[in-house]
Amino acid sequence: MAITASAPRGGIVEEIDGATYTLLLRCREIERFEDTHRGIFDVWEGFFGRANKPTSREVRDLVALALVGGGKKDTDADKLVENATPADLFRFYQIAQAVLGVAFMPDAFDEAELKKKDEQAEADQDDLMSDNLYQMQS
């Protein structure tokens, strides 16, 4: 039996401070975030340069709330995030961006994989057709 964490639909699994955690933003965590900061869609736009970038406090709070959504207790999530150093902030920024993105578009990675497989199948089929045409011309 494997004990490796697997991400639920709409969540991610990340390593933080040498341990693997499930992160998941649900509506209740998003609402808690908005009660303290700004609207989540404004933060979303900020991640992609169309609004103000998220502050370090917003990034840390998104990560902590996603840890809570993934099953950690509030105090444990806060402690994990607060123990991070400034060197960890960019990694937390990436985690916050990923967890928010997968919360909004939970099937995006699956759809990308399916598209990639479909494109490969079409390429393989084209290769076979080319071989057939080559043989017919010979």
Q: What is the 3-state secondary structure (H, E, C) of 29-60?
A: HHHHHHHHCCCHHHHHHHHCCCCCCCCHHHHH
Q: pLDDT tens digit string along 14-67? A: 999 899 999 999 999 999 999 999 999 999 999 989 999 999 999 999 999 999
Domains: count for the chain: 2
On whether both 18 and 49 belong to a single domain, the answer is yes
Question: Is 5 contained in some domain?
Answer: no
Check whether residue 62 and residue 120 sit in a common domain. Answer: no
Q: How far, in Å, CA of 60 to CA of 78, rounded?
A: 9
Evaluate whether residue 1 is within a structural domain: no
- Asked whether the whole model's pTM tops 0.95, one would answer no
Most confident of 50-54, 121-125, 128-132: 50-54
User: Is residue 90, in this structure, part of any structural domain at all?
Assistant: yes
Cα 98 from Cα 23, distance rounded (Å): 10
Q: What percent of the chain has pLDDT over 90?
A: 64
3-state secondary structure of 6: coil
Six token digits for residue 45: 């736009």
Domain that includes residue 36, residue range: 11-106
Please indicate, yes or no, whether residues 25 and 76 belong to a single structural domain of this protein. yes
Question: Angle 40-47/27-36 helices, nearest 10 degrees?
Answer: 90
